[in-house]
Amino acid sequence: MDYEFEVTITVVVRVRAENEAVARTVIASSALSSPSTEEIRMANEDEFLLGKRATIIAVDFDKPDEESVRLISVEKEQ
């Protein structure tokens, strides 16, 4: 049987950029993309080695909207 779950996650993404606007642009395009087929295959192999008899078929992430990206801190480079 195939089961499909919707899971709410919270992610903290640290970005080093010239300014906040530039940093925000890379979050949706790079940091929160769905895993590749190869990454899913590796996760399945790890789970199989741990004795778990379930296979991940696909993982899809919705792109965050601009309002959902909240700045929580700013640290200057050392």
Is residue 57 a part of any domain in this protein? yes
Is residue 37 a part of any domain in this protein? yes
Considering the entire predicted model, what is its pTM? 0.53
Residue 72: is its pLDDT beyond 70?
Answer: yes
Question: CA-to-CA distance for 27 and 33, rounded, in angstroms?
Answer: 9
pLDDT at position 61 is 74
Is residue 38 a part of any domain in this protein? yes
What would the pLDDT profile of 36-54 be if each residue is shown by its tens digit?
778 888 888 887 777 877 7
27 lies in which domain range?
A: 20-66
For residue 12, give every residue at least 6 positions away whose Cβ sits within 8 Å of its Cβ, in sequence order, or none.
72
> Which amino acid appears at position 18 of this protein?
E
What would the pLDDT profile of 4-48 be if each residue is shown by its tens digit?
888 777 778 888 888 888 888 777 666 666 777 788 888 888 877
Is residue 24 a part of any domain in this protein? yes
Residue 69: is its pLDDT beyond 70?
Answer: yes
Number of domains in the chain: 1
Is residue 73 a part of any domain in this protein? no
